[in-house]
């Protein structure tokens, strides 16, 4: 006990000299640090290379620590996916916010959707790997709902379909941007030139028969 008290004193003294040495036992924001670590791992190795131990290692914490915040690996991945949906919603919102023409809004959202996927492949890939996530998680559900309400709305504005049900036009629009994004991420298109995306997006508004 005496020895331990001494070492505590030494820590307290050195704290005055070098500030970042403090707070080693309680991390402060371990939850956030683990999410960041998980994102890094996913970006580097893909979801195959992810493990809870590795995330703990990168956060500088013992392998048992993450359980306090996320329960298990699924819980951590669910938090990462939730953050992904939130960012997607932000991207979609920003893309359309100053546009009034419904056609222009749909096109801008389509572009933003594909851009989000290519800029955040780790998130985008994970968001659709539902077998790895806790699909009953309330935050995940809400984040997903919010993101797709935007796309749905944009397409509904263009068609005569009732607002409550997902219209075929909205679904077609979602399918085309999702399909394009997936093909890019899965490497099926090789080095597709940027104008190819523009040309595909030109066809987005063609999908809405009532607007022609």
Partner DNA sequence: TGTACATCAGTGAACGCGCGTTCACTGATGTAC
The footprint of a copy of itself (CB under 8 A) covers: 46, 48, 128-132, 135, 168-169, 171-172, 174-183, 186-189, 196, 199-200, 202-203, 206-207, 209
23 binds, among DNA, a copy of itself, none (CB under 5 to 8 A by kind): DNA
Contacts of 14 by beta carbon, 8 Å cutoff, 6+ apart: 21
4 binds, among a copy of itself, DNA, none (CB under 5 to 8 A by kind): DNA
Q: Smallest Cα–Cα separation from 185: which of 126, 105, 145, 111?
A: 126
**68 contributes a contact to DNA by CB under 7 A:** yes
10 binds, among a copy of itself, DNA, none (CB under 5 to 8 A by kind): none
Task: Name residues contacting DNA, limited to 147-176 (CB under 7 A).
Answer: none
130 binds, among DNA, a copy of itself, none (CB under 5 to 8 A by kind): a copy of itself
**32 contributes a contact to DNA by CB under 7 A:** no
**28 contributes a contact to DNA by CB under 7 A:** yes
Contacts of 142 by beta carbon, 8 Å cutoff, 6+ apart: none
Task: Name residues contacting DNA, limited to 84-143 (CB under 7 A).
Answer: none
Tell me the chain's radius of gyration from C-alpha atoms: 23
Q: Give the alpha-carbon dihedral of 86, 153, 127, 114, to 10 degrees.
A: -100
Task: Compute the distance between CA of residue 183 and CA of residue 151 in angstroms, rounded to an integer.
Answer: 20
In order of 101, 122, 146, 189, 194, the CA distances from 180 in angstroms are 24, 16, 22, 9, 12
**62 contributes a contact to DNA by CB under 7 A:** yes
In order of 53, 82, 145, the CA distances from 153 in angstroms are 41, 21, 12
Minimum CB separation of residue 1 from DNA in Å reads 8
**69 contributes a contact to DNA by CB under 7 A:** yes
Contacts of 1 by beta carbon, 8 Å cutoff, 6+ apart: none
Contact positions vs DNA (CB under 7 A): 4, 8, 11, 23, 25-28, 30, 51-54, 60-65, 67-69, 72-73
């Amino acid at each position: 006990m005496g020895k331990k008290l001494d070492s505590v004193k030494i820590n307290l003294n050195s704290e005055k000299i070098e500030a970042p040495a403090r707070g080693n036992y309680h991390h402060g924001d371990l939850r956030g640090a683990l999410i960041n670590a998980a994102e890094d791992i996913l970006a580097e190795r893909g979801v195959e290379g992810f493990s809870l131990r590795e995330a703990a290692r990168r956060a500088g914490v013992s392998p048992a620590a993450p359980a306090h915040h996320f329960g298990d690996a699924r819980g951590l991945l669910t938090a990462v996916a939730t953050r992904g949906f939130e960012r997607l919603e932000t991207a979609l919102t920003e893309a359309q916010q100053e546009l009034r023409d419904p056609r222009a809004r749909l096109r801008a959202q389509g572009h933003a959707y594909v851009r989000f996927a290519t800029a955040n492949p780790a998130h985008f890939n994970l968001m659709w790997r539902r077998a790895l996530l806790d699909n009953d998680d309330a935050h995940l559900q809400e984040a997903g709902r919010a993101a797709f309400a935007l796309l749905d709305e944009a397409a509904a504005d263009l068609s005569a379909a009732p607002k409550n049900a997902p219209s075929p036009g909205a679904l077609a629009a979602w399918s085309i941007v999702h399909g394009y994004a997936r093909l890019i991420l899965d490497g099926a298109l090789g080095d597709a030139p940027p104008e190819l995306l523009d040309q595909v997006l030109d066809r987005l508004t063609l999908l809405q028969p009532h607007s022609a």
